[in-house]
């Protein structure tokens, strides 16, 4: 009886953990093309702008690690008040690219102190 209770508890725990960590629905977004165009240097990210706009709502409510699985490590991070963090990904060629733009567009994702995305903007 005790063994079956332990097995039930373990299986229930695994199910709950899987339910709480859903994957980001990236739809038609070409994750590999995004990752291959670091800092927007090759211009592929700027051509993906419509797909990125469709992806934006799907990023909300996900933890930082899930976002990194889709978009890769952020190119810049900013610490904001109350332990909030901004992840910044460049869309247009940024500083460090051969054809860097003065004010490149960027994707900014704000995370709460718990690491959950609560704001996604393209600026």
Predicted structure pTM score: 0.81
Strands of the chain, DSSP E:
76-79, 85-90, 106-111, 117-122
For position 3, what pLDDT does the model report?
Answer: 63
Is residue 30 within 8 Å of 48, Cβ to Cβ? yes
**Residue that the structure tokens 């419509």 belong to:** 50
Fold for the domain defined by 23-122 = Beta-lactamase Inhibitory Protein; Chain:B, domain 1 (3.30.1450)
Burial 60-98 (b: 16+ CB within 10 A, else e): eebbbebbeebbeebbeeeeeeeebbbbebbbbbbeebe
pLDDT in tens, the chain (123 residues): 566 555 545 544 444 444 455 788 888 899 999 999 999 999 999 999 999 999 999 999 999 999 999 999 999 999 999 999 999 999 999 999 999 999 999 999 999 999 999 999 999
């Amino acid at each position: 009886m005790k063994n079956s209770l332990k097995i039930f508890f373990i299986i229930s725990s695994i199910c709950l953990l899987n339910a709480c960590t859903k994957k980001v629905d990236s739809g038609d977004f070409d994750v590999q093309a995004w990752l291959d165009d670091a800092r927007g240097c090759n211009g592929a990210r700027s051509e993906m702008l419509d797909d990125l706009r469709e992806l934006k709502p799907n990023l909300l409510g996900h933890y930082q690690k899930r976002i990194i699985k889709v978009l890769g490590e952020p190119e810049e991070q900013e610490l904001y008040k109350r332990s909030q963090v901004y992840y910044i990904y460049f869309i247009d060629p940024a500083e460090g690219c051969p054809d860097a733009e003065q004010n490149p567009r960027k994707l900014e994702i704000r995370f709460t102190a718990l690491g959950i995305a609560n704001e996604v903007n393209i600026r």
